[in-house]
Amino acid sequence: MTAIGRPTSFHPDMCEQAHNYCLLGAINDELAEFFDVSPSTVDRWIAERADFRDAVRSGRVAADARVARGLYARAIGYDRTFERSVVIGSELKPVTCTVHYPPNVQACIFWLRHRRRRTWSDPGRDATDDPSTQVDDFALLDAASESMRHHGGD
């Protein structure tokens, strides 16, 4: 029995490419353009191919986790330590300095309005949680801790 339609242009190497592109924030339309296929083809690959779906999902979760961690750090404030080499006298010596970045009010508001909608939403706005916009918090935590292990906490 032969399949109806055009042969697929899918190749297993596309999983890694999709994962890497999703790490950069790619959406399905951008994946379609990258692979030179229609958006419905990308949707079909995600629906029918577990390897492709898992690659796209893991790339997006890792990217979202890194951004969420960065937004959280901006919201609560953080310290960053820098090491530079300077000439003191006639010798080159390392100097360490710590810069404190205070909490950012806009980041706090953004975080709370999106994470605690019922409490922090704008008056008159529908504060119901839309399940299509919810992120699996445990997946984000796993990805963030994995990223911290590989990137030394940056």
pTM of the model: 0.61
The mean predicted confidence, pLDDT, of the chain is: 83
Q: 150 falls in which pLDDT band (50, 70, 90)? A: low
Q: Where are the domains of the chain?
A: 13-151
Instruction: State the pLDDT at residue 115.
Output: 82
Distance between CA 20 and CA 51 in Å, rounded?
A: 14
